[in-house]
Amino acid sequence: MLGVILLLVLGIGGWWLWREAEHRVFFSALTAVKEKPVPDLKRYEVLEAELSDWRANLVKEYKKALSPEQKAKVENDARLILEMILPEMMRCWRGTGYDFNGVAERPGEGKIACGYYVSTLIRDAGFKVNRYKLAQQPSANILRTFTDAENCQLKVGENYATYADWLEAKEPAIYLMGLDTHVGFVVVEKNGDMKFLHSSGIDKAGVVEETRDQAFAIKWSNWRMLGHFTADPHVIRKWLAGENVRVVE
């Protein structure tokens, strides 16, 4: 009996030490996040204008394209431009505070909730969408507003290391990430690394850019849905067409 009790105590103690170690890693990462740059509104406005100019030029080229091959080339150019500029626009928001009801229009000008961070960036990238209506949807509806079911990949209860390996093996692109009660952007880079950009409610950290090891919101979520964004040709065509995007409810 004494041996059983000893094993039980050691088991509980081992679990407690593991949780304490994980919390130390988390708060260490959170401290590092807080040291990141302050919001950069001026750069944001420059990037927004540059992206608008690029889109206008690409729209002209798209209208002149006659063959499927010519249209595909313009779509690929549009994707490259979005993948070059949009992540930099996301980073301009870093340091903007979080509030559950935050609806800030610009980096650093007030606080912003996770859904509004996503919807505002999408709107400012040139998509015609009602950012208020989009931001107020569950994460699954936000993803399905832009991409169909076959390009939304849902995994439930998967070990985080396994999930992160799968995520980093995805095609380099910008993705939408829907979680239990959260939403943000995942950028899979050409070197295979992934970055999670979102407005974090954990300790009200606000807008952060996190590596695989820092992305505790993804790690602690049981429900994870990944939606193609720049990797989905339909999304690129919506951007080029300038059509009104119907929010899925």
Contact 214, 158 (CB under 8 A): no
> Which are the contacts of 177, defined by CB distance < 8 A and separation ≥ 6?
139, 183, 184, 185, 186, 196, 198, 218, 224, 225, 226, 227
Q: In what helix (H) or strand (E) does residue 28 lie, and over which residues does it extend?
A: helix 2-34
Bridge partners for 199 per DSSP:
207
Lookup: tokens for 64: 């002149």
Model confidence over 155-190: pLDDT tens digits? 999 999 999 999 999 999 999 999 999 999 999 999
Domain boundaries, the chain: 1-35, 39-241
**Low-confidence winner among 28-42, 65-79, 211-225 (lowest mean pLDDT):** 28-42
- How far separated are the first and last CA of the chain, in Å rounded? 58
Mean pLDDT for 9-25 is 45
Model confidence over 104-150: pLDDT tens digits? 999 999 999 999 999 999 999 999 999 999 999 999 999 999 998 88
